[in-house]
Homo-oligomer: A and B are copies of this chain.
Amino acid sequence: MTIDPTDDQSPGVQARPSTVTLRDVADAAGVSKASASRALDPAAPYVSSGLRARVLDAARRLGYRPNASARATTTGATAMVAVLVSDIRDPYNAEIVHGVIGQAGESGLVATFAGTDHAIDDEIRVVRMMRSLRPHAMILTGARSGSTVSRASLEEELARYTREGGRVVIAGDDELPFDTAVVPRRQGASDLVAALFRLGYRSPALIRPDHDSAAARQWEDGIVEAARRLGMRIGEGAVVRAPMTRDGGYGAVGRLIERGAERRDVVLAATDAMAIGAMSAMRDAGLTPGSGIGVAGFDDVVGTEDVTPALTSVDLALAKVGAAAVELALTASGAERRRIAFEPRVVLRGTTPVRLG
């Protein structure tokens, strides 16, 4: 650890935190605070290059860092985007967050995160807390569940924030009335079905989440719409609901088999985790994923390459969605609501080989 010896003048005295301020820089450069402030701002007009050089030099020598809080109380907003994320351990969210962090860094913003545990009431609390920071924007990501009352409260809290000049952007599903970087679930699901059709699959079984989120709905809508268009049948008994986890997928297979899933030729799960669980259950039941019956997941986050055989899935360009959310937050929005969507990409792997006959 390097210690600047000039810093502790009187060793006996309790060392108080000493921060270099604009005042110090101005003094060191022999100019006024106003000039120092302008010299440090690359966008400021009317600064002589000599003065600017002296100030910059003094700032570097002193290790000056502008106080973001003071700047924010002057300008009204913090150079920050606040991200509300339901669960950072979910690789789906982690991928979006990665995109947000990258783009925020490039745009000179810091990104702040708060966890919300999926619950809307939690999210309301967090929005309230975040409002204190006066960030340029709040980005909401991840599925949320809660009552209609809670949802209204959340929208009210967000509306308050926008009235204060804040910007709200959704990164994910298109379910709240704000600018949205859309995760292309519906189209991805449709594309998946079309790709499987081309491989020879004709009768899918579905494992869908047991709660009614926008994500679940869009996935199912995409599947059903493409199936209908292509003349594939999805009967009543071919859809089961399960918790959106690996274990949920595992448990769903039993119920599918009770209903005669052997007559189906491919199992589609709403997430990779569910699909991976389903694969384990199939194996435990004596079925071999990829021979006789296919399996496909959704999201293409992690683990799809590491099961045997590798899992077919759909890449939703999540990091791009996160980056796009930051860009939406940065550019002024007019009256109308904006949407940005990316192209999903179906990734065919070993669980869905070409089907003969």
Residues of chain A at the chain B interface (Cβ within 8 Å): 1-4, 7, 15, 17-19, 63, 65-70, 72-73, 76, 78, 80, 87-89, 91, 94-95, 97-98, 101-102, 105, 110-115, 128-134, 152, 155-156, 158-160, 163-165, 177, 246, 276-277, 279-280, 283, 302-303, 305-308
Given A115-B101, A308-B307, A164 contacting B19 (CB threshold 8 A): yes
Contacts of A303 in B (CB 8 A): 302-303, 306
Which residue of chain B is the closest to A273 with respect to CB atoms?
B306
Given the contacts A72-B69, A306-B307, A111 and B114 also touching, CB distance less than 8 Å: yes
- Cβ of B302 and Cβ of A280 under 8 Å apart? no
A112 touches B113 (CB 8 A): yes
- The answer to whether B1 touches A155 (Cβ under 8 A) is yes
A112 touches B115 (CB 8 A): no
Question: Roughly how many angstroms separate A19 CA and B97 CA in the complex, as a whole number?
Answer: 29
CB contacts (< 8 Å) of A70 on chain B: these are 69, 73
CB distance from A16 to the nearest CB of B (A): 8
Contact of A308 among B88, B101, B128, B308 (CB under 8 A): B308
Q: Residues of B contacting A114 with CB < 8 Å?
A: 101, 105, 110-111
Q: Does the CB pair B98–A110 fall under 8 Å?
A: no
A113 touches B134 (CB 8 A): no
The interface residues of chain B lying within 8 Å CB-to-CB of A158 are: 1
Q: Would B67 and A134 count as touching, CB distance under 8 A?
A: yes
Residues of B with C-beta under 8 A to A115: 98, 101-102, 105
Closest residue of B by beta carbon distance from A177 = B1
A307 to B276, CA, bound (A): 9
Please give me the residue from chain B that is nearest to A63 by CB atom: B160
A109, chain B: closest CB distance, angstroms = 10
Residues of B within 8 A of A1 (CB): 155-156, 158-159, 177
Give Cα distance in the complex from A110 to B73, angstroms: 18
Partner of A98, one of B67, B88, B129, B159: B88
A88 touches B88 (CB 8 A): yes
- Closest-CB distance, A268 to chain B (whole angstroms): 18
* Chain B residues with CB below 8 A from A155, complex form: 1-2
Is there contact, CB below 8 Å, between A163 and B113?
no
A155: shortest Cβ distance to chain B, in Å?
5
The one of B80, B111, B159 that contacts A2, using a Cβ cutoff of 8 Å: B159
Q: Is there contact, CB below 8 Å, between B88 and A89? A: no
Complex Cα distance, B61 from A160, in Å, reads 12
Complex contact A277–B306 (CB within 8 A)? yes
| In the bound complex, CA of A152 to CA of B2 (Å) | 8
Alpha-carbon distance A160/B2, docked complex (angstroms) = 9
Q: A73-B73, A110-B130 are in contact. List 4 more A-B contacts (CB 8 A).
A: A280-B305, A280-B306, A302-B302, A306-B306
A171 → B minimal CB distance (Å)? 14
Which residue of the partner chain, among B68, B128, B156, contacts A134 with CB atoms under 8 Å? B68
Known: A1-B155, A302-B302, A308-B280. A164 touches B18 (CB 8 A): yes
Residue from B7, B89, B98, B131 in contact with A95 in the complex, judged by beta carbons closer than 8 Å: B89
Scoring A69, A91, A152, A302 by chain B CB atoms within 10 A of each residue's CB, the highest score goes to A69
Among candidates B66, B130, B133, B306, residue contacting A246 with C-beta atoms closer than 8 Å: B306
Given contacts A98-B89, A306-B303, contact A19 B277 (CB under 8 A): no
Closest 8 CB pairs between A and B? A17-B165, A69-B72, A68-B132, A101-B115, A2-B156, A69-B69, A65-B131, A70-B73
